Chain A
C-alpha cells in the first residue's frame, strides 16, 4: 500500500493532536473536570456554524474564532452560574452542553438546506473525516499543539501546584488566574483544530480516554501524559487509516472505538487498579490467610498433643479445609522451608516454628488487647482475633507488646509464645 503525501501530513497532525490533547486531558483528568471538556466540545458547534454563515466558506481561522468564542461563552456561563449558586454544577454542565449543541445542530440543518450550504461538508465536523484535512489545517494543528506543549513545559511547576492545591496557589505571588484562563482558551482552540480529523463531539474522548488508559499503567503525572499521548496516537493512526481505506467510515468514531479497545484491555489487565490486579491481590491475601491458618493449626496441634509430627488428617480436622487445599498449601510452605512434608506427615522447621509461633502470638495478643482496652467478654474475642491476626504488622506487634507491657498470658490463660 502506498501512502499519499496527504496521508503523511494527516498522520503527523494526528501525532500533534494526540500529544497536546493528552496534556490538556491529563490536567482535566487530575482536576476531576472531565465534563468541562464535554461542554467545550459541544459548544463549539454554534460558533462554527455562525462563522460559516457569515463568511460563506470553510475558513479555518474564522472557525477557530467562532468556535472558541461560543465554547468560552459556555464555560463562562457555567462558571458564573455556579458561582452564583443558582443550580448545582452537574446540572449546569449537562444543560449547557446540550443547549449549545442543540443550537448548533439547528444552525447546521439550516445551512444544509441553503443552496450553497450543502456541498460544504460542514456536517462532517461533527464526526470528523480525516481525508478532508488540508495542509493549512495541518499547519494550524501543529502551531496550536506546539504552543500548548511549550506553555506546559514552561509552566510545569505552576501547573502542578494549581492542579494539586488550588488554595495554596491562591496565596502565592503568581497569576494563577492566567494559568486557568490559558487552559480554557487552549482547550477551546484544540477542540477546534480537532474538528476535521476527529470531529468536535468526539474530541472529548481524546481528552478523557487516553489519560484514563494511562492511569492503569503509570503512576506519575508526566509518565501518564507520555503513555496517554502514545496510546492516543496509535489509536488515532489506526482510526485514520481505517477511515481512509474503507469508504463511509467516519474518523472520529473509528478512533474512539480503537481507544475503547485499549481501555478494555487496560481495565482488565492494567498494572494498577485493574480488575485483574484486584483479583490477584485478593487471591494473594486469601492465600496468606490460609497459609497462616495452617501454620497456626500446626502449632496448636503440636502444643496440645506435645508431638513434633502432625498428619494431614488431624490438620484437616483442625482447619476444616479440603485435603487438596491443605496439600497445595503444604507444598508452598515446604518450598519456603517452613515445614517438612512427606507421606502426609508434617513437621515444622525452625523457621516454620518461629512463623507459626508469631501467628499464635498475634492472635492471643489481639485477644488480650480487646479484653483489656475494649472490655469485651471472653467469648467475644476469638472471632475478631481470627481475622485481625492476619493484618498485624511487626510495628503494630511491637506497639501492642509495649502498651501491654510484654504480657505472658492471654485472656483464656493460655501462654503468649
Chain B
C-alpha cells in the first residue's frame, strides 16, 4: 500500500542506506503531500531514525536520492527543520533555554547579525507556545526530559521552516506533555506546515497522524492512516523481519 502523490513536498526515491556495513534501509520509495502530520512507524531497528537522518543528509546514502520541494536538500535547507533525538545532544553543556531557542534563528542571522526585535519576538513566542517561557534563563541541564523536549520544539518553531522532521519527540516524557506536543503539532499543521515524526507506539499513532509511513527495514506502506492501518500491513510491519533481507544483510556485512 504505497500511495504516491502529485506535487509531493517530499520525495524519497529508491533510497538505500548502508552504514558500518549494515544495511539499514532497503529501496525506500515514497512521496508525501504537503500539509500532513505524518508518522514514521515501525518496530525497534526498523530504520525509522535512519530514514529521517538520511533525508537530512546526516548519514551517507548508499543509493537513491531525496528531494524536498522538488529540489535537493542543499538548496532548501532554510525551509527544513530537524529535531534530533534527545539522547544525541550534549545536555551537560552550560547553555540557557533561551540560547537554545535562539539557535533556531541561526539560519536567518548567520554568525554575526544581531537578533532583531522581530527575531526576539519569534523566540519568545516560540517559548510561550510550548510553555517554557518561565524557564528561559534556566540551564538546559537542570530541566526534566519533558521540558528538554519542549525546548527542542521551541527551537524548531523559531526556525520557522515549512517542513519539520522530529526524531522520537515522545520518548521519556509524561503523557500530559505528549498530548500538549501533539496539540501543538496539529496546530502547526493547520498553519500549513508539514511535519514528519518518528514514533514507535502503534496505538497512539492512529490518533495522532493523518498519514503514516510503515517501516520495517523496507517500506511496508505510505498512505493516509485509515488506509495503512490494516491487519495485514501491521502484521508485515511488526511481525518480524523479512528472513531473506536479514540473510542478505548478513552476507553483505560479512563480505565488506
Contacts and interface: CB of A to CB of B under 8 A. Distances in A.
Interface in B71-95: 74, 77-78, 80-82, 84-85, 88-90, 92-95
Interface in B113-145: 139
Interface stretch (A132-140, A171-179, A235-243, A354-362): A171-179
B8 interface: no
Nearest to B92: A30
Contacts of B208: none
B106 A174 contact: yes
A401 to B, nearest CB: 17
A158 B88 contact: no
A167 B84 contact: yes
A155 interface: yes
Interface in A168-205: 168, 170-174
B106 A172 contact: yes
Given A157-B111, A164-B100, A171 B56 contact: yes
A220 interface: yes
Contacts of B85: 167
A163 B99 contact: no
A165 interface: yes
A224 interface: yes
Nearest to B91: A164
A167 B20 CA distance: 18
Contacts of A173: 74, 77-78, 107
Interface in B44-87: 56-58, 74, 77-78, 80-82, 84-85
A155 B112 CA distance: 8
A224 B103 CA distance: 21
B231 interface: no
A160 B57 contact: no
Q: Taking each of A32, A85, A160, which has the highest tally of chain B beta carbons within 10 Å of its own beta carbon?
A: A160
B95 A221 contact: yes
- Is the contact region of chain A dominated by helix, strand, or loop, or is it mixed? helix
A154 B111 CA distance: 7
Contacts of B106: 157-158, 161, 172, 174
Contact of A160 (B74, B89, B103): B103
Contacts of A220: 94
B111 A155 contact: yes
Contacts of B240: none
B56 A164 contact: no
A165 B84 contact: yes
A31 interface: yes
A224 B94 contact: yes
Contacts of B110: 174
B20 A85 contact: yes
Contact of A30 (B82, B90, B107): B90
A154 to B, nearest CB: 6
Contacts of B84: 165, 167-168
Contacts of A278: none
A399 to B, nearest CB: 11
Q: Taking each of B56, B78, B94, which has the highest tally of chain A beta carbons within 10 Å of its own beta carbon?
A: B94
Nearest to B165: A171
Given A171-B80, A173-B78, A221 B107 contact: no
A56 interface: no
A171 B95 contact: no
Q: Taking each of A31, A164, A220, which has the highest tally of chain B beta carbons within 10 Å of its own beta carbon?
A: A164
A165 B89 contact: yes
A260 B111 CA distance: 37
A219 B88 contact: no
Interface in A13-32: 30-32
Contacts of A32: 90
A373 to B, nearest CB: 15
A164 B139 CA distance: 12
Contacts of B100: 164
Given A164-B100, A171-B56, A172-B106, A219 B139 contact: yes
6 contacts: A157-B109, A158-B106, A164-B103, A167-B82, A171-B81, A221-B95
Interface of B: 20, 56-58, 74, 77-78, 80-82, 84-85, 88-90, 92-95, 99-100, 103, 106-107, 109-112, 139, 155
Interface of A: 30-32, 85, 154-158, 160-161, 163-168, 170-174, 219-221, 224
Shortest 5 CB-CB contacts between residues of A and residues of B:
A167-B84, A173-B77, A171-B82, A164-B93, A165-B89
Given A30-B92, A30-B94, 8 more contacts: A30-B90, A85-B20, A156-B111, A157-B112, A160-B95, A168-B84, A170-B58, A174-B110
